């Protein structure tokens, strides 16, 4: 249900190399590309150079109805595939991704603006979750319980939910979709994906690769659906009782809207929302390790990760020395075209993100923040898009309101602490609860940080940064981060429904709790 015209030579080359030459179909009106463009076509702008990559027509309500009905029909047969068979098909998807890792990663970088290394890393995450899903296909386990009644057996089993909607964000245009889709498919669900309207080309590429594998295996159409559009499409998914589970990744504001709509129909929701992540650097930290973790965590993906390090909480005894080392490291950062592997930092996604970055810096200064590493927007050759900004470091106080907010940009706040309890309290004193870390060589500090009295985040690390999660562990956070869990561990249970079964293999019908009902 996608009508696209590719306008960028590099993007066209990559898509053709991926074997996707049919990305320029007729418009829904039946009009071929030629003289004029449909008025409703939306431009897809690359933050790398500010030029249009493509124009695309968003899905309409009729498109939505076709996709969801196809999904419902496909579910009837897909749910009956043995789980290991579904896993075998997912294995083949992983193989396709391995073949296309370099090209697909380049497309991620071109469209989203993250570094080429990070683009390749995102495709690797998709490959990894395919591998995980293959193993999971033989481990969708239930429990057996002893019954209080004689000659009775109790057990539980898990069944697929049905249609799973997936709303993904621009910053990880394909990886987070795959965390949901590969697990949902192995569980026997069918998926409808609404990617960010800012990064639709990578979604089209992934959809084409998946459909190619599905067709080869005789999988019915509708198991994988794609709807490109804005908030209207997301609202349709949220309000539709035919969508059994809606997994949404994005801002806290968006998550609250989705949760309200899905909750009104008593549907299931899985939310991965904002993060305001901190690293505590104790006086016992390995400062070389702390520096590497802090800088990458703060500037990777130009600060546009939900797990980006936004706060450093530093012990007063090492504060001054560490901030000097930090300023020196920032001075060495190279900012520019993300397809050039010599650059550390690429662009923000668009002009709105740039303005949000500038507003946050201004607000921090108005509240009394002291600039340690100056920010600003870069201009001139190589920066024509206007989306390249300088990573900024600001010394702040705990009570500043800006510190409690998530700004999706490379702004790092420094805070000073005296005791570990104080540091933990500062870290937890924000509405979000996604990722966190402590840098220490002291076992007691590490264990206290990981205890119930420590970090209140869904992810808590020791001697690694806040970003860079592995797919083997469940990913997600608490508080305004939404409480959802995706990817590894037993996150698969969110995509299935639990059923408790009791079997009476005797000749009598005793009742539970010793109740007597004699006829």
Q: Which pLDDT tens digit goes with each residue over 115-164?
A: 999 999 999 999 999 999 999 999 999 999 999 999 999 999 999 999 99
Question: What is residue 13's predicted lDDT score, i.e. its pLDDT?
Answer: 86
User: Angle formed by the axes of helices 231-239 and 252-264, to 10°?
Assistant: 30
The answer on pLDDT for 339 being more than 50 is: yes
State the CB neighbour count (10 A cutoff) for residue 321: 11
For 92-113, write each residue's pLDDT tens digit: 999 999 999 999 999 999 999 9
Do residues 305 and 452 both lie within one domain?
yes
Q: What is the pLDDT of residue 39?
A: 55
C-alpha–C-alpha distance, residues 346 and 406, integer Å: 19
Same domain, 253 and 287: no
Inter-residue contact 267 to 491 (CB < 8 Å): no
Q: Which helix or strand (DSSP H or E) is residue 372 part of?
A: strand 370-373
| Pairwise CA distance, residues 63 & 40, whole Å | 15
Give pLDDT, residue 442.
98
**How large is the average pLDDT for residues 377-384?**
97
* CATH number of the domain where residue 436 is located: 3.40.309.10
Cβ–Cβ under 8 Å, residues 77 and 15: no
- Look at residue 34 and tell me if it is in a domain: no
The answer to whether 272 is a known catalytic residue is yes
Note whether residue 434 is domain-resident.
Answer: yes
The per-residue pLDDT for 55 is 87
Same domain, 461 and 491: no
Predicted pLDDT of residue 179: 97
pLDDT of 4 over the 80 cut = no
pLDDT band at residue 165, thresholds of 50, 70 and 90?
A: very high
pLDDT at 12: 85
Tell me what pLDDT residue 3 has: 67
Please state, as a whole number, how many other Cβ atoms lie within 10 Å of the Cβ of residue 374.
12
Cα distances from 395 to residues 276, 368, 373, 413, 510, in angstroms, run: 16, 9, 9, 6, 70
Per the structure block, which two tokens stand in for 397? 């106080």
Positive or negative: CA dihedral 218, 221, 222, 226: positive
269 and 281 fall within a common domain: no
**Same structural domain for residues 197 and 283?**
no
- Classify residue 448 by burial, with Cβ atoms within 10 Å: 0-12, 13-18, 19+: middle
Q: Quote the domain boundaries for residue 128.
A: 81-273+485-498
Q: Between β-strands 243-249 and 268-272, what pairing exists: parallel, antiparallel or unpaired?
A: parallel
Q: What pTM, to 2 d.p., does this model score? A: 0.95
Catalytic pick among 191, 306, 387, 457: 306
Query: Among residues 197, 272, 406, 486, which one is catalytic?
Result: 272
Predicted pLDDT of residue 5: 73
- 170 with 198: CB under 8 angstroms? yes
- Which residue stretches of 418-487 are H helix? 420-428, 443-450
Q: What's the whole-number mean pLDDT along residues 227-242?
A: 96
Residue 392 annotated in active site? no
324 and 261 within one domain: no
Task: Evaluate whether residue 376 is within a structural domain.
Answer: yes
- Does 29 score more than 90 pLDDT? no
Asked if the structure places residue 363 within a domain, the reply is: yes
Domain count, the chain: 2
What angle, 0 to 180 degrees and rounded to 10, lies between the N-to-C axes of helices 200-216 and 83-99? Answer: 130
Is there a single domain that holds both residue 288 and residue 428? yes
Q: What is the pLDDT of residue 57?
A: 86
d(CA 434, CA 476): 6
Domain shared by 260 and 357, yes or no? no
Whether residues 269 and 284 fall in one domain = no
Whether the CB-CB separation of 203 and 177 falls below 8 Å is answered with: yes
pLDDT averaged over every residue in the chain: 94
Question: Which secondary-structure segment (H or E) carries 302?
Answer: none
Gap between the Cα atoms of 511 and 505, Å rounded = 14
CA distances from 344 to 104, 157, 298, 354, 492 (A): 20, 48, 11, 18, 35
**pLDDT for the residue 25:** 37
Closest CA to 134 of 173, 97, 171: 97
């Amino acid at each position: 249900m996608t009508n696209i015209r590719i306008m960028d030579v590099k993007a066209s080359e990559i898509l053709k190399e991926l074997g996707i030459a049919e990305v320029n179909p007729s418009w829904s009106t039946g009009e071929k590309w030629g003289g004029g463009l449909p008025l409703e076509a939306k431009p897809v702008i690359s933050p790398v150079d500010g030029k249009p990559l493509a124009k695309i027509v968003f899905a309409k309500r009729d498109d939505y109805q076709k996709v969801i009905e196809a999904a419902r029909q496909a579910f009837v047969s897909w749910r009956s595939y043995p789980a290991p068979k579904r896993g075998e098909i997912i294995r083949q998807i992983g193989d396709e991704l391995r073949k296309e890792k370099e090209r697909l990663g380049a497309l991620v970088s071109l469209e989203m603006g993250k570094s080429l290394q990070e683009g390749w890393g995102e495709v690797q995450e998709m490959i990894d979750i395919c591998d995980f899903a293959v193993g999971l296909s033989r481990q969708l386990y239930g429990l057996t319980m002893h019954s209080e009644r004689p000659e009775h057996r109790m057990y539980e089993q898990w069944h697929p939910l049905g249609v799973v909607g997936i709303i993904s964000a621009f910053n990880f245009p394909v990886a987070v979709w795959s965390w949901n889709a590969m697990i949902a498919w192995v569980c026997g669900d069918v998926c409808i994906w609404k990617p960010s309207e800012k990064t639709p080309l990578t979604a089209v590429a992934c959809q084409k690769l998946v459909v190619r594998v599905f067709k080869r295996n005789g999988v019915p159409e509708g198991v994988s659906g794609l709807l490109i559009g804005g908030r209207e499409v997301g609202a349709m998914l949220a309000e539709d009782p035919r969508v059994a589970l809606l997994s949404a990744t994005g801002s806290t504001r968006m998550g609250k809207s989705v949760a309200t709509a899905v909750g009104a129909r008593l549907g299931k929701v899985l939310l991965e929302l904002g993060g305001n992540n901190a690293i505590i650097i104790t006086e016992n930290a390995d400062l070389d390790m702390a520096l590497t973790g802090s800088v990458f965590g703060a500037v990777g993906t130009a600060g546009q990760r939900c797990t980006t390090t936004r706060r450093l909480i530093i012990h007063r005894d090492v504060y001054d020395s560490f901030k000097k080392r930090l300023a020196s490291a920032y001075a060495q950062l190279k900012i520019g075209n993300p397809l050039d592997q010599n650059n550390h930092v690429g662009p923000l996604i668009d002009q709105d993100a740039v303005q949000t970055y500038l507003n946050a810096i201004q607000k921090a200064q108005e509240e009394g923040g002291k600039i340690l590493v100056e920010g600003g927007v870069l201009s001139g050759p190589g920066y024509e898009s206007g989306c390249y900004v300088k990573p900024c470091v600001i010394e702040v106080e705990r009570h500043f309101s800006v510190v409690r907010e998530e700004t999706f940009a490379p702004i790092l706040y420094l805070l000073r602490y005296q005791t570990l309890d104080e540091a933990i309290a500062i870290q937890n004193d924000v509405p979000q609860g996604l990722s966190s870390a402590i840098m220490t060589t002291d076992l007691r500090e590490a264990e206290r940080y990981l205890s119930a009295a420590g970090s209140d985040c869904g992810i808590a690390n020791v001697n690694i940064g806040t970003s860079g999660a592995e797919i083997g562990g469940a990913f997600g956070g608490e508080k305004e981060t939404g409480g959802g869990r995706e990817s590894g561990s037993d996150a698969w249970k969110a995509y299935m429904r639990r059923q408790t079964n009791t079997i009476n293999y005797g000749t009598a019908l005793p009742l539970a709790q010793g109740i007597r009902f004699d006829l």
